[in-house]
Each structure stands twice: as structure tokens, then as C-alpha cells.
A and B are shown apart, each in its own frame.
Chain A
């Protein structure tokens, strides 16, 4: 049963045009977001060029397994939300709600793993701004900027994941409550675009903070 058809706002001719505007708006917003992260990548690249050896050692000090598990979790989430979109378009609303909720759950698992990782760093005495025992044992200044960058960049990303989890949860509930049908699938498509974006950003952070660890 596909009851709900999206409401046509007064300034649009028809639903396809309204959907087109919503998609375009999301793409533009994500383009803007990409520039936000590009600033962070510039920052990382600049400092890595200044301190190549310590950045390499810092990456090697991070837990490759946890980072890779998180990559796997986020990629699974992206697959689930794509399946949810397919399900909604095919008219299987309950399945779509379930898959969207699972995607949100994957986001939560990601955050738990990330939090555990931060907790482990803190127990080693690594805090942002070069504070903590770790920096007494490793006094070279570059260690401080590496870990401040690590907390800062993964922190900004985690904020985006948190926002994504909230939006996914809300969308799942909305699809259920409004008995949303295929005609409104474009709204889920927009949410999925955002989630894919968060995922893609992580695909850049994964090498920067976990993989680039071998001597040149």
C-alpha cells in the first residue's frame, strides 16, 4: 500500500521538478561540504610535508584493525541505504524502513568503535594540543600536531556521522509514519546522498590515518 504522495509546493510546476530541485540542492550542499574537508586535507598535507617521518610513525601507531573494521562498517551502511532506496522505489516500504534503520545502526557501531579508539589513545596519555604523558616521552613538536590533527579531523568526521545517524533515524520513522510510497523516494535518495558522502570522506581518512605507515 503506497498511500502518501509528496505535497507539491506552490512555486513548483510538478513533483519531478520539485524532486530535481531537492536533489540539486543536496549536491550543491555536498560540494560545499567537500570543500570543507578539502581544507582539512590541505592542512594534513601541509603538515605531513613538514614532518614526514613523525606523521608516518603516528599513522603506524594507530590501530590498523579498528580503522579497517570501521571502513567495512561504513561501506556496509552505504550498501544498506542503497538497498533501502531500491526497496522503496519497488514499493516495499517495510523493508526500506528496516534497511534505513540498519544503516543508522551501522553509524552508531562506527561511532562506538571510534570512541573506543579515542579512549585507548587517551589512556596512553594522548590529548589534543600536545597535552598528556605521551608527549613527555615523545617531545618532538610534530607529535603534538599529528595527534591534534587526528582528533580534529576524525572529530569533524564523527560530527558528520552523528548528524547522519540522526537524519537516517528520523527518515526511517517518517517513512513508517507517513506510509511513504515510491513517489516520495527522492527524499530518501537525498538522505542517502549525504550518507554516501560521509562514507567517501572516511575512505580518504582511512589511508591518511591508518594505511600510509610504511617507510618510503
Chain B
């Protein structure tokens, strides 16, 4: 039978496609590639910290590596991974649409992504930036390294993000199947909606501030140079106005994945559909009022710091609503423990642990102690990277049968999930301890008392890398040797499982008319 993969097979048919599924697949391949690149940077960084003194790279190269690791992971993996990859593939199918609202723009967003990535790579190959991914002035204004192409690369990537946001919101408003109300949408669509709003509001502000720092670095405009009336703190305020909400761009789509996987694997209606949908907007809204918590130690009144601290903590309330709703959904469900659900368990552990340490660093008195130490590094890796990465891998396994038409290998899948969790905790748990002990981030050397824990963290990074490699190899192998996937291997009620695996070019063999909700597990499963 013809499907979206074999309807046309030339390379040009991929490069010129307007099919959201193919664009989603190309995004997935791209972000996986950059996960690999950013991961290699991370492995070198951890290897460097195997010993307190010089190990394998020079001090300058160390500065460049932690900058590039951050830039690549944030803008080339975490931000686009789930929305541009899985979101592109599944949003129209979940809404019963044939495509996103603006298919040509969608393809453009992929090309813009690659232009941005290539500009950035040019900067990486030729004296890579050493400023840290936050590009703070005054240092960024004067560094001898090639900050400009890296900054412009991020600016261009921002366009790709904005286009995706416009596309998704318009699609949700105009292309829902006949009779589908907003409150009938699958929860993944709500999560993408929330993330798209943040993309639209936050990304242009980032683009602006990066252009300003390009003017400073490339043309010596001195916008943040106190000798010319400038103020570096203005940069920090505008930068974090985007870059804090950006972590919610990274975490809301993963939350949508978790909502889908939990309901499907528990074979149960979510404990509260409304609680999950509305708390998404709670996070998206409050997320814009918390940026000051990055600046407690850089010059802020105690009153302001207190307000920002309390607002930051309130994000945990909305997050807790979601966590309780997910665990409540699993309670007394008919639970299938499969690889995606194992990843969701990892997600919950990392998310709760990272979230609680987040509440702790939002307290100004504690933040002064932990600011710019490895404690903060461990915190944001747990919540932002750990949670997003496990949800990405959950999504990859959960939807693998639908995207490729093949089943992954269950045993290898679970083994990969366990390795990833062990590796992740092994890498970052020791970093909480060294950070609390006072080891600063972004330093080439560290004192010898921290070595044992750093060795542990480095060993953890190898376990994590091994886990990811295992997943990559077994998934590729399953393309050749995996069983053919049935349309609905999980007995899910969600709409994307009502079409063949892989879906036909038009998503559904006939225009779908959904007569029940996406989580109606009290109804018998209709035959495929």
C-alpha cells in the first residue's frame, strides 16, 4: 500500500516536499545529528574534568567547548526537537487535518534551520566563540573569537522557530476536523499550542538582543559599554526575558508527550484533561514573569528579587498539577510497561528532582550561595535536559511504529532507557554535590577535593553516551529487522493510531470524522 514514505522516492521529492510528515522526519534526523555533535562536546568537557588540572584540551578550547555545547544543545536540539520534529508529524494527524496551515512556510522553516545551523558551524570551525551560551557583555563585545557567526546563526534559527509557532497556532485554529472542539483535542496539541505562544512572544526578543550584541561585537557600537553610556544589565534583562521562557518551550512539548504516553499505556482517561490543558497556559503565562531569578547576584533590589523568587516558585504549582494528574492517571489503570512508559518514569524522577531543586534556587538566600556553581548546572540539566531528553526518547519509541511502520525491539528499548537514566543520574547527581561544595561552573581548573565526584560524573557521561548509542543502533537495525507495525500496537484511543502505519500521504485514507474523544477508554476499541 502507498504511504507517505514510498509515494515518491527521489531525493528531490524529499527536498521539495510540502508534506508535514516528511518535514517532521527531516527535522528529527537533523536534531538527532546535532544531539550527537553537542554530545561529543559534552564528552570532551567531562573528560577534561577527569583531573583537576589540564587533561586533554587547552583552557581556551575548554571555554569554546562549553559555549558550543550550550549553543548547539539549546538551539539545535532542545528547542526544535519535539515541536518541529514530532509536532510537525503528529499535530495535523491528531487534528484530522491533511497538513499544517502553511505547508510552504513549513518547508522554509526547515531550510532556515539549516542555514542558521551552517552559519553557526562556520563560526564553530573558525575560532569558535568562547563567551558561554548566554553571550553576556561586556566580554562578548570584545572577545577575539568568532562570536558574530554563532550569534547570527542563532538569530536565523529564531525565524525557523517563529514560523513553526505561527504555523501550529493557525493550524489548531483553522484545521481541526469537523466537530472537534478545542476541548476535544489531544493533549499533545495543547502542549504545542502553549509552546508556540512562547515561541511567538519570546523568540523575537532574543533575536533583537542578539542583533544588538552582534552590533557591539562586529561593529563596535558599544551599546552595552559603560564608557559610552551603556549598561550590561539591560542586556541581561532582555536576554532572560526570552531565555527563561525558552526553557518552557523546551519542556511544554515534552509534557504533551508524557500526557499522551501515560493515557495510552494506562489505557485510561487522564485523571483531569482540563487540569493538564489549563496548567500548560499557567506555565506559559507565569514563565514570562520569572526572568529576574537569573540576576539575583548581578544587581537587583531585594524587593524585586523577592517578587521574582515567589513568581518562579509558582511555576512549580502548575508543574505539580501535571505530575499529580499523570500519576493519578496511572493509578488503577490497565498499565502496559513498555519502553515509552519506562522513559516516562525516568522523566517523572528527573522532572520532580530538577523541579524541587529549582524551587530551592529560586529562594534568593540560597541562590546567592549556589549561583554560578555546578549546583545550578546540575539543576537545569535535570529539569531541562533530563526531562526533555527522556520525553524525546519516549516519543521516539512511542511513535516509532507510526513513523517508520516497524516495531522497535522491546528488550533493547528498555535496556537503552535504563542505561540513559543511570548515565544521566550518574553524570549530574555528583555535580549537585560538587556545586553545593562550592565548585564554580565554567572554570578550567578545580580544587582537588572535588576530584572523586568529578570522576564519577565523567564515568556517568560514558554510560549515558553508551545508552544513546545503543538506542541509535537498535532503532536503525529495527528499520530492517523489526516486525511490521500494526496500525495501533498500543491499543490507544488517540487519533493518530486510527490511520495505517505509516500513514498515507493525505494522513487518513478517507476524511476522518471523529465520533468519540481521544481518550475514551470506556468505549470498546474499534477494529483497525
A: residues with CB less than 8 A from B are 9-12, 17, 20-21, 24-25, 28-29, 31-33, 35-36, 38-40, 42-43, 46-47, 50-51, 54, 128-130, 140-146, 148-149, 152
Output the nearest chain A residue to B215 by Cβ-Cβ distance: A152
Please name 20 pairs of A and B residues whose Cβ atoms are closer than 8 Å in the assembled complex, sorted by A.
A9-B103, A10-B99, A11-B97, A11-B98, A17-B174, A25-B101, A28-B170, A32-B201, A36-B205, A38-B205, A39-B209, A42-B237, A46-B231, A128-B215, A129-B219, A130-B229, A145-B230, A146-B229, A148-B221, A149-B223
Residues of A within 8 A of B229 (CB): 47, 50-51, 54, 130, 140-146
How would residues 79 to 113 of chain B score, 1 for a CB under 8 Å from any chain A CB and 0 otherwise? 00000000000001000011111110000000000
Decide if A32 touches B162 in the complex (CB within 8 Å).
yes
- The 8 Å CB contact of B231, one of A36, A39, A50, A130, is A50
Decide if B221 touches A28 in the complex (CB within 8 Å).
no
- Dominant secondary structure at the B interface: helix
Contact A148/B223 with A21-B101, A47-B231, A130-B228 known, Cβ cut-off 8 Å = yes
- The 8 Å CB contact of A129, one of B202, B209, B228, is B228
The residue in A17, A25, A46 that gathers the most chain B C-beta atoms within 10 A of its C-beta is A25
Decide if B204 touches A28 in the complex (CB within 8 Å).
no
Residues of B within 8 A of A32 (CB): 162, 165-166, 200-201, 203-204
Output the nearest chain A residue to B209 by Cβ-Cβ distance: A39
- The 8 Å CB contact of B200, one of A21, A28, A50, is A28
Output the nearest chain A residue to B228 by Cβ-Cβ distance: A144
The number of inter-chain residue pairs (CB within 8 angstroms) is: 119
Output the nearest chain A residue to B506 by Cβ-Cβ distance: A10
Decide if A145 touches B205 in the complex (CB within 8 Å).
no
Q: With A36-B204, A40-B208 given, can you name 17 additional A-B contacts, CB distance below 8 Å?
A: A10-B98, A11-B101, A12-B175, A24-B169, A24-B170, A25-B167, A39-B204, A42-B234, A43-B223, A46-B237, A47-B234, A128-B219, A129-B220, A129-B228, A130-B228, A142-B229, A148-B221
Q: How far is the CA of A39 from the CA of B173 in the complex (A)?
A: 28
Output the nearest chain A residue to B227 by Cβ-Cβ distance: A141
Q: How far is the CA of A108 from the CA of B222 in the complex (A)?
A: 31
The residue in B166, B173, B174, B223 that gathers the most chain A C-beta atoms within 10 A of its C-beta is B174
Decide if B226 touches A141 in the complex (CB within 8 Å).
yes
- The 8 Å CB contact of B222, one of A20, A40, A130, is A130
Q: How far is the CA of A54 from the CA of B222 in the complex (A)?
A: 17
- Interface residues in B190-206 by Cβ distance below 8 A to A read 200-205
Q: Which 8 residue pairs across A and B have the least CB separation, nearest first? A: A145-B229, A36-B204, A141-B229, A11-B98, A144-B228, A39-B208, A142-B229, A11-B99
- The 8 Å CB contact of B212, one of A12, A43, A142, A144, is A43
Q: How far is the CA of A33 from the CA of B219 in the complex (A)?
A: 24
Q: How far is the CA of A146 from the CA of B223 in the complex (A)?
A: 9
Q: Flag whether B354 is at the interface (Cβ < 8 A).
A: no
Residues of A within 8 A of B226 (CB): 141
Residues of B within 8 A of A39 (CB): 204-205, 208-209, 238, 241
- The 8 Å CB contact of B223, one of A20, A35, A152, is A152
Q: What's the nearest-Cβ distance from chain B to residue A69, in Å?
A: 28
B contacts with A, residue count (CB < 8 A): 43
Q: How far is the CA of A145 from the CA of B209 in the complex (A)?
A: 15
Q: Flag whether B207 is at the interface (Cβ < 8 A).
A: yes
The residue in A11, A21, A46, A152 that gathers the most chain B C-beta atoms within 10 A of its C-beta is A11
Q: What's the nearest-Cβ distance from chain B to residue A115, in Å?
A: 19
Decide if A28 touches B169 in the complex (CB within 8 Å).
yes
Q: How far is the CA of A10 from the CA of B230 in the complex (A)?
A: 53
Q: What's the nearest-Cβ distance from chain A to residue B88, in Å?
A: 14
Residues of B within 8 A of A43 (CB): 212, 223, 234, 238
Residues of A within 8 A of B175 (CB): 11-12, 21
Decide if B200 touches A31 in the complex (CB within 8 Å).
yes
Q: How far is the CA of A149 from the CA of B231 in the complex (A)?
A: 13
Residues of A within 8 A of B92 (CB): 11
Q: What's the nearest-Cβ distance from chain B to residue A15, in Å?
A: 12
Residues of B within 8 A of A47 (CB): 229-231, 234
Q: How far is the CA of A152 from the CA of B174 in the complex (A)?
A: 38
Residues of A within 8 A of B202 (CB): 35
Q: What's the nearest-Cβ distance from chain B to residue A126, in Å?
A: 13
Decide if B221 touches A36 in the complex (CB within 8 Å).
no
Q: How far is the CA of A12 from the CA of B97 in the complex (A)?
A: 9
Q: How far is the CA of A36 from the CA of B158 in the complex (A)?
A: 12
Q: How far is the CA of A50 from the CA of B101 in the complex (A)?
A: 45
- The 8 Å CB contact of B174, one of A24, A42, A128, A146, is A24
Decide if B204 touches A25 in the complex (CB within 8 Å).
no
- Interface residues in B137-187 by Cβ distance below 8 A to A read 162, 165-167, 169-170, 173-175
Q: What's the nearest-Cβ distance from chain A to residue B287, in Å?
A: 14
The residue in B203, B219, B223 that gathers the most chain A C-beta atoms within 10 A of its C-beta is B223
Q: How far is the CA of A103 from the CA of B54 in the complex (A)?
A: 64
The residue in A21, A47, A50, A51 that gathers the most chain B C-beta atoms within 10 A of its C-beta is A21
Q: How far is the CA of A140 from the CA of B229 in the complex (A)?
A: 8
Q: How far is the CA of A54 from the CA of B229 in the complex (A)?
A: 10
Decide if B165 touches A28 in the complex (CB within 8 Å).
yes
Output the nearest chain B residue to A140 by Cβ-Cβ distance: B229
Decide if A21 touches B174 in the complex (CB within 8 Å).
yes
Q: What's the nearest-Cβ distance from chain A to residue B79, in Å?
A: 15
Residues of A within 8 A of B170 (CB): 21, 24-25, 28
Residues of B within 8 A of A146 (CB): 229
Residues of A within 8 A of B99 (CB): 10-11
Q: What's the nearest-Cβ distance from chain A to residue B197, in Å?
A: 9
Residues of A within 8 A of B173 (CB): 21, 24
The residue in B97, B162, B202 that gathers the most chain A C-beta atoms within 10 A of its C-beta is B162
Residues of B within 8 A of A10 (CB): 98-99
Residues of B within 8 A of A36 (CB): 204-205, 207-208
Q: What's the nearest-Cβ distance from chain A to residue B376, in Å?
A: 25
Q: How far is the CA of A194 from the CA of B278 in the complex (A)?
A: 32
Q: How far is the CA of A17 from the CA of B228 in the complex (A)?
A: 53
